[in-house]
Amino acid sequence: MSHVSSHHHDVVIIGGGGAGLRAAIAIAEENPDFSVACVSKVYPMRSHTVTAEGGAAAVIKDNDSLEDHIYDTVSGADWLADQDAVEYFVNRAPEEMIQLEHWGCPWSRRPDGTVQVRPFGGMKIERTWFAADKTGFHMLHSLFQTTLKYGNIVRYDEHFATKLLLDDEGRCRGCAAIELRTGTVRAVLGKSVIICTGGAGKAFPFTTNGAIKTGDGMAMAYRAGVALKDMEFIQYHPTGLPGTGILITEASRGEGGILVNRDGRRYLQDYDLGQPLEVDDPRHPQTRTMELGPRDKLSQCFIKEMWAGRTIKTKDGDAVHLDLRHLGEKKIDKRIPFVRELARSYAGIDPVYQPIPVRPVVHYVMGGIDVDSDSATNIPGLYAAGECACVSINGANRLGSNSLTELLVFGGQAGTHAARFAMDHPDYDVSGLVAQADDERDRIRRTYFSSPAKSGGERIAVLRKELHDSMEEGAGIYRDADSLEATCNKIAELWERYANIALDDHTNSFNTELTAALELSSLLDVAQSMAHSAMERTESRGSHQRLDHPERNDDDFLAHSLAFHREDGSAPRIEYSPVTITKWPPGARTYGADSGLKRE
């Protein structure tokens, strides 16, 4: 690793996916004279946003309302969402979706030319906009091509940010990042910073998340002194392909697909999710009912079916069947063509003629970097948006199709506020920041390249597999004190062993072994916050289900958990902050044909 170079901008964005690109556009619009750095581990079009399939939620139909969307989101979150943030999100969503169309996103249309929307799990009214079943692909393309018209956005593609740089007054002023092509450490400096690095699904072995989603941004903020909020809430998507974890989008159920067990029974009717209609009934599928219940409950139903011995045995473990055959080839090819392509390519099944085996798979982290209603952290000048952040609109369970809209709403908000902060705080000490980047380069050399005693040391793949196994066994869909304690102890052990990690590759250019080692350190930090936050929350709520504490406890736990990093690497300090309640006090979380917002 050679001499550290410094690069000067007004605002630095870490992450080049949907939230990061939306933030870049917002900054360029707020101040066209600003220089905006976009630091991304991958080329932006390879960011994970591109894989999203089903759609993005926003009120557009005449029979829908902002209030209904707010209620569905709050109740879906099991009342752990901050309702002021949800109100802001829902009110901004339609404007953002229309703006994205103006930027080129080809939303699917009805015959009369209006925007087509489909039903999604946990929502009482159809409000999910879509572009067939490649919505994230088209959204990211539209955002990326829009950024190209702004000459003041400077991209640092294939740069891995490893440390936030803070000035003497404690304000965030940039990051240290490794240029993967050369191994050079760069100090990318600005007057404010936005983290948009996505989630951390790779803390688990079976996930829809791509290999790049290793919690790097969460870990950087955590180490810098920002709390990670609500990290115990991990969303399992109920329909992933066994063996690969490839997502079969919720749109397949929104279009009318059904879930059946080994006996051919639509088993969700046995778990307080309403009663099924015949698939040829024009009212099928029913919103907030059966297959269109929320993801946390559908995943929990699968586990109960497995415990009862009613799942289907496959070479890759237990599964149930997602049956689309009644939709017919024409509808499948028009509305969910990618589902057919994925099933044929990765399961050897054509869903026109055969049901698809599916099982729950880790999909999303509801928690993340603690931010306020302006997307700001407790470190001045540091903002976060997207899955890496917790604002919090998702609470204990995210509703499907809210996340893509969240990228737009809060990516734009973070960009605007970061630009204004930069205008108000223009000066910083460059020399002190570059010195921190020098120290980071030296730390990486010392930790991974300079110790001769590490020959024969710990291997990345071994530590990562043990982490995966421990997280799945101890912090999965159902947890208890014993399983969580075992996971917490295992992570502490893995951290000790990580200090003796061995790398065979000491070259500078595209050193993927070094990248994997750095990603593993992020995963260990993030997993530690997940496990300890889950241990301390002795109730069941949303995606956090404790077998030893099966009831929701609003008296003690209607609150956000906050995990604070300790410099010595020991267990995080866990604190709590209140949930913001505006109009919707906690109530029973019910699903079925008669559920949803009740009006006088």
pLDDT tens column, 147-162: 999 999 999 999 999 9
Give mean pLDDT, residues 507-533.
Answer: 96
Q: Tell me how crowded residue 306 is: count the other CB atoms within 10 A of its CB.
A: 18
Residue 68 backbone dihedrals phi, psi, to 5 degrees: -65, -45
Q: Which of 237, 295, 546, 549 is catalytic?
A: 237
CB of 59 closer than 8 Å to CB of 90: yes
Percentage, residues of the chain above pLDDT 70? 97
Q: Is the peptide bond before 106 cis (omega within 30 degrees of 0)?
A: no
Whether residue 253 lies in the annotated active site: yes
Among residues 565, 537, 564, the alpha carbon closest in space to that of 552 is found at: 537
Q: Which of 159, 253, 321, 363 is catalytic?
A: 253
User: Domain 238-361 belongs to what topology?
Assistant: Flavocytochrome C3; Chain A, domain 1 (3.90.700)
Whether residue 425 lies in the annotated active site: no
pLDDT tens column, 249-285: 998 999 999 999 999 999 999 999 999 999 999 999 9
What pLDDT is recorded for position 600? Answer: 47
Q: For residue 467, is pLDDT > 90?
A: yes
Nearest-angstrom CA–CA distance, 19 and 387: 9
What pLDDT is recorded for position 451? Answer: 59
- The model's pTM is 0.94
Report DSSP state, residue 44. Answer: G
Of the candidate ranges 1-10, 319-328, 376-385, 394-403, the one whose mean pLDDT is the lowest? 1-10
Residue 595's pLDDT band (cuts 50, 70, 90): low
What pLDDT is recorded for position 593? Answer: 62
CB of 216 closer than 8 Å to CB of 306: no
Indicate the domain borders of the chain: 238-361, 453-555
Region of residue 365 (left: phi > 0; alpha: psi -120 to 50; beta: else): beta
CB of 18 closer than 8 Å to CB of 47: yes
What is the C-alpha radius of gyration for the chain, rounded to an integer number of angstroms?
23
Residue 400's pLDDT band (cuts 50, 70, 90): confident
532 beta partners: none
Q: For residue 453, is pLDDT > 70?
A: no
User: How many helices and strands (H and E) does the chain possess?
Assistant: 15, 24
Q: Does domain 453-555 have CATH number 3.10.129.10?
A: no
Nearest-angstrom CA–CA distance, 486 and 469: 11
Helices 460-474 and 512-536 meet at what angle, rounded to 10? 20
CA angle, 236 then 237 then 243, to 5°: 90
Backbone CA torsion sign across 375, 379, 382, 388: negative
Cβ neighbors of 100 (< 8 A, separation 6 or more) are 139, 142, 143, 408
